[in-house]
Structure 1
Amino acid sequence: MTADRETPVTPVLDVCDLSVRFRMRGGRDIAAVTDARFSVAPGECLALVGESGCGKSVLASALLGLLPANAETTGSAVLGGDTDLLTAGERALARTVRGRRIGLVPQSPAAHLTPVRTVRAQLEETLRELTGVRGAAVREAAGEAAARASFPADHLDRYPHELSGGLAQRAATALALIGDAPLLLADEPTTGLDRDLVERTVDELRRHTDEGRALLIITHDLAAAERIADRVAVMYAGRIVEISEAAPFFGTPGPRHPYAKGLLDALPERDFAPIPGMPPELGTLPDGCAFAARCTRADARCTDERPAFEDALACHHGLTGRAHSLTKAAADA
């Protein structure tokens, strides 16, 4: 008798060959994101890391349908197996996706908080809209939502302009966690927080994930990524250049891509050695590997030929031979 095979788990988010181009005046294009490919499963946290300006936040905006008018997207980003976020109209995104199926912790919380309403009022309004809580219970639920994000109860009746950057970030996190959306997209959620609050924030996001939801966290804080992530995706000059399980990435044998290794080596608790040079402009990317000019392993092939993204790596000279996976399911197989 043949043993039953487990039913494949549908990813909460499945991104395939997602590209974003900005059409600029004079006919010039900026390739902000190129052929991004990854998935996030229920109960999994994927950390997207890389230097500022590499395209991480543009990718997040594409998933939410929040790109400017001069942006063009190709590829697909399927939510829950049934909704392509790149082709869904604004009406569908606004009514059924944002806040309900995707919770957002924004990079700039001040821009997402209503300036003329207190934090408590915004939490209560969101609770009524997303959970249906009514009457006296909504006040208690608002306090509980604030506590989940370590937002102090004695600041609930303050307006956004009365909050520090760190408090505004925690208020935005509290709003994002309401409704327990299947996917949480956290764009630099630890900005402005001290290390203790960073750890408390990512621990709460981890708890949210451990309850069966998916988390895509975009961060430059590698310590936070190490604390929370199941897998890591490394982005450079608009491309994802490596995807790895988190434990071997941060431990042994370490990253396979030279850029990813450089990111870790630059940490104060490691070699504290910065990566030489600067990233290329996204509007003038070289024909070959975008990292070649900064890489000690680069040769003529790297300069002339852009490496394909194969076996979760985009590099002609990977640092190790270990296998990685694009999906958590493949890693667990």
Structure 2
Amino acid sequence: MTTQPPVLSIDGLHVRFRLRDAVVHAVTDLALTLHRGELLAVVGESGCGKSVLAHAVLDLLPANATVTGTVCFGPHNSPVRDLRGRHVGLIPQSPATALTPVRTGRTLLAETLKVHGRPATDADRVAAEAGLDPDDLARYPFELSGGMAQRLATALALAPDPAVLIADEPTAGLDRLLVDHTLDLLRRRCDNGSAVLLITHDLAAAERVADTVAVMYASRIVEHRPAAELFAAPAHPYTAGLLDALPGRAFRPIPGHPPMLTALPAGCPFAPRCAHTDDACTVQPATADGAACHHPLTRAGAR
């Protein structure tokens, strides 16, 4: 998989939001690649910058955002806005605000299919693929439950059959059966040659379907490794803490709170919550062997 050129390359990405009296450091020096057939999950606590990453990749940030770094989609040299839809799809985190309220689900889906050269008669099949009853396409978005709106947004993202799908919390508001349905759908897309960037706080979902996992903390990627290796033996203490908080493991929360993105420390941002910290942690660690940590955990020394 990794011998082929990536379909998505992100290098040196920084995103800053300028407020009246502060600057939010939402994404810091981020680098990721995504290959055809790969499902890459970006995980972390709420507020770490995961959704900002998704919107930065698609050039969908508000006017007060400053973005530096590069985002490249495969061989395309076109602006990102020209690739959205057919080449790069988005399942938004808040579908209720992304759906046009004066059009029924069927109209929205038929229009999307038509724009991308597919027959409107595919609407029922695409809706069913996303787990939405085709009969519900007759409803307006405000008549849909949160879970139904999520499935409609998924169907709209799938309609152009994009090569890259960015799924921002695609299982939010869904019951367990539909969570599994959506995850299996994303996995099948990768198995059929597409690529998926999954933004999620659901570690169980990432473990179930991801090939690789990037752990985000306080605007940075702190660990990026194959999923099986990461879940078996996390290298970063933050990753270990996230896994220990799961009900099936120690069910022990990480003490303390993440730093404010308006006041990030100069050194390791996880140091105030970490049991392994020392004077070295006053300096931002470099990434080695997939983890940005001065004292990475090992199989022999973990926990």
Question: Contact (CA 8 Å) 1:244, 1:255: kept in 2 or not?
Answer: no
Is 2:183 the partner of 1:206? no
Q: How many residues align?
A: 300
Question: Contact (CA 8 Å) 1:143, 1:153: kept in 2 or not?
Answer: yes
Is 2:145 the partner of 1:164? yes
Is 2:46 the partner of 1:52? yes
Is 2:130 the partner of 1:149? yes
- The DSSP-based 3-state class of the residue aligned with 1:30 is strand
Is 2:267 the partner of 1:272? no
CA–CA distance in structure 2, aligned partners of residues 122 and 224 of structure 1: 29
CA–CA distance in structure 2, aligned partners of residues 310 and 32 of structure 1: 23
CA–CA distance in structure 2, aligned partners of residues 165 and 313 of structure 1: 37
Deviation at 1:226, TM superposition (A): 1.0
Which aligned segments of 4 or more residues in structure 1 are displaced greater than 6 angstroms? none
Aligned residue for 2:77? 83
The normalised TM-score by structure 1 is 0.87
2:23 to 20, 26, 29: 29
Is 2:297 the partner of 1:311? no
1:160-218 CA distance string (max 9 Å, x none): 11111111001100111111111000000000011111011010111111111110000
What pairs with 1:1-333 in structure 2 (closer than 5 Å)? 8-26=3-21, 28-83=22-77, 88=79, 93-94=80-81, 96-133=82-119, 138-139=120-121, 141-251=122-232, 254-302=233-281, 304-320=282-298
Identity of aligned residues (%): 57
CA–CA distance in structure 2, aligned partners of residues 321 and 261 of structure 1: 12
Question: Contact (CA 8 Å) 2:2, 2:35: kept in 1 or not?
Answer: no
Aligned residue for 1:329? none
- The DSSP-based 3-state class of the residue aligned with 1:297 is coil
CA–CA distance in structure 1, aligned partners of residues 194 and 140 of structure 2: 31
Q: What is the aligned-residue RMSD (CA, Å)?
A: 1.6
The normalised TM-score by structure 2 is 0.95
CA–CA distance in structure 1, aligned partners of residues 195 and 167 of structure 2: 11
- The DSSP-based 3-state class of the residue aligned with 2:268 is coil
- The DSSP-based 3-state class of the residue aligned with 1:83 is coil
CA–CA distance in structure 1, aligned partners of residues 248 and 104 of structure 2: 40
Cα distance change of structure 1 residues 287 and 174 upon mapping to structure 2, 3 Å threshold:
same
Deviation at 1:67, TM superposition (A): 0.9
Deviation at 1:8, TM superposition (A): 4.1
- Structure 2 counterpart of 1:280, one-letter code: P
Aligned residue for 1:325? none
CA–CA distance in structure 1, aligned partners of residues 247 and 280 of structure 2: 33
- The DSSP-based 3-state class of the residue aligned with 2:52 is helix
- Structure 1 counterpart of 2:31, one-letter code: R
Cα distance change of structure 1 residues 268 and 321 upon mapping to structure 2, 3 Å threshold:
closer
Q: Which runs of 5+ in 1 are unaligned?
A: 1-5, 323-333
Deviation at 1:142, TM superposition (A): 0.3
Cα distance change of structure 1 residues 82 and 153 upon mapping to structure 2, 3 Å threshold:
closer
Deviation at 1:247, TM superposition (A): 1.0
